[in-house]
Each structure stands twice: as C-alpha cells, then as structure tokens.
Amino acid sequence: MTDAGYQPQYRQIEQALRERIAALPPGAKLPSDTDLCAEFGVSRMTARNAMERLATDGLIRREPGRGSFVSAPPPHRRANRLMTFSQEMRRTGRVPTSRVLTRTVRPATASEAATLGIHQGRSVVVLRRLRLGDDEPIALESTVLVGTTADAVLAADLETGSLHETLGRAGFVLYRGTGTISAAAATSDDAALLGIAVGEPLLVERRVITDGYGRRIEATESRYVAGRYGLDVQFDVELPDDDAAPSPG
C-alpha cells in the first residue's frame, strides 16, 4: 500500500525551493540542476522537472548558459495555479499574517458533506480567518476540512503560519483543485472585518482541493477586497465551429 503522505521527489524539491524563493530578492541566483542533484540525491531529470514547475508558475526564470534566477513578483496571482496566501504575500514583498476568527470541530452540514464527499454529521474542522498583508486586510477566508485534519489544524499556529504547510507536514499532500470565481457586494460583516464600506465589490473564490488519491480535503471560500487583489488568467482560444466559420471569398 502507498503511504498516504507520500510525495514525489520533484514535488519535495519544488516545495523546498518555494520556501527559499519566498525569502530571496528578485534576481537572486538559484542552485543549478547539477547542484540540486547533489543536494537532494535525485536524477537530473527530477531536478529539472521541479525547476520547470517553478518556471511555469513564474517564480523563477531560466536563462540558458547562465542559470536560474528568482523572478520579480507579479502583481496578481495566476488563476491556474494555487499558491498559499503566505507565499503570495511574500512574493509581493508584504508580510503575511492572519487573525483566526473561528477554529472548531463540529458535525458537517448537508451542504458541507456534499462538497467534501462525506456523510452528513461526520466531523469537520471549520476555520475562519482574516488574511492580511502588511497588516492591511486582504481577504476573509472560510475553510471546511475533513475531520482527520483536526489534530494538525487545531494545534497549528495559523496566525503567522500556513494552513497548507501545516497539512503537508501532517501527511495531507494537496494535489489538485477546482474552483469558481465570481463577484459579490460586501455584506455588513465583510465590511466590518475588511475595513471597507458595505456594498463595495469583492472577488469571491470558491475552491475544493483533493489529495493525490482524489479525496477531498478542503473546501474554501475566500472573499477578497477587489481593489487589493487580482487574478491573472491564461487561456487557450477555442476555434469556431465549422458551421459557424465564415465562408471564403
């Protein structure tokens, strides 16, 4: 049986480098593929795979003949990749912190159970946090996690620490997510916590994240102040249907 906490070698290298990059200035040189092979005891292909994932996310730039360097932070997050909030803030030069508003274990509601793929009434961990960058409120985040995460989540420092890093250390390797992005007007509760006026626009992201076995671990709604946060989207252009294409001539 495969260990539920197993993580491929390239992912281990990638996560280790993400932590280093967060503390480095733009332009800092990173270890070469050969250096990574020696440090982590892996093949060149494994090291290159980890570095290419970082390059795809825009965290580093690869310059043939010169090496790999930390990229300047983009103003927005790419919608097709998920970084932790802490990583995002550090990349933009801001200090991430959180204020824990709710952290408790209780039975799952019907809606929560359906979202996480568990039976209604099973234990879930409910976590609600105000996310800040340089002490400025950025988002109001409400998360529901499967009950097996309780020991790790209840004991963790989630004021200055990362939830996803906490889950990873506990053996919950988050692998893939699906989500939706929409707009909403700030409620009175949003306004009071985020320091904005009632009715101001919010960017609302709802996501569900699974582990490598497809098991749903986390469901989160993040309500971002639209003027303080953005998402960059990369997409393919779909060709028109044949019967809708203009005729030649």
Question: What confidence tens digit (pLDDT) does each residue in 91-120 have?
Answer: 666 788 899 999 999 999 999 999 999 999
Residue 4: what pLDDT?
Answer: 42
Q: What percent of the chain has pLDDT over 70?
A: 83
Structure confidence at residue 16 (pLDDT) = 86
Average pLDDT of the segment spanning 147-154: 97
Q: Per mean pLDDT, which range of 65-79, 102-116, 120-134, 185-199 is the poorest?
A: 65-79
Confidence tier at 84 by pLDDT (50, 70, 90): low
pLDDT at site 1: 38
| pLDDT tier, 245 (very low <50, low <70, confident <90, very high otherwise) | low
Confidence of residue 2 (pLDDT cuts 50, 70, 90): very low
Predicted model pTM: 0.63
pLDDT at 77 over 60: no
- Going by DSSP bridges, is the β-strand pair 77-78/67-70 parallel, antiparallel, or unpaired? unpaired
Q: pLDDT confidence of 74, banded at 50, 70, 90?
A: low
Q: What percent of the chain has pLDDT over 90?
A: 52
Which carries the bigger pLDDT value, residue 96 or residue 183? 183
**Does the pLDDT value for residue 141 go beyond 70?**
yes
For position 212, what pLDDT does the model report? 80
pLDDT at 233: 58
Residue 167's pLDDT is: 92
| Per-residue pLDDT at 235 | 58
Report the pLDDT value the prediction gives residue 208, as an integer from 0 to 100: 95
* Residue 197 scores a pLDDT above 90: yes
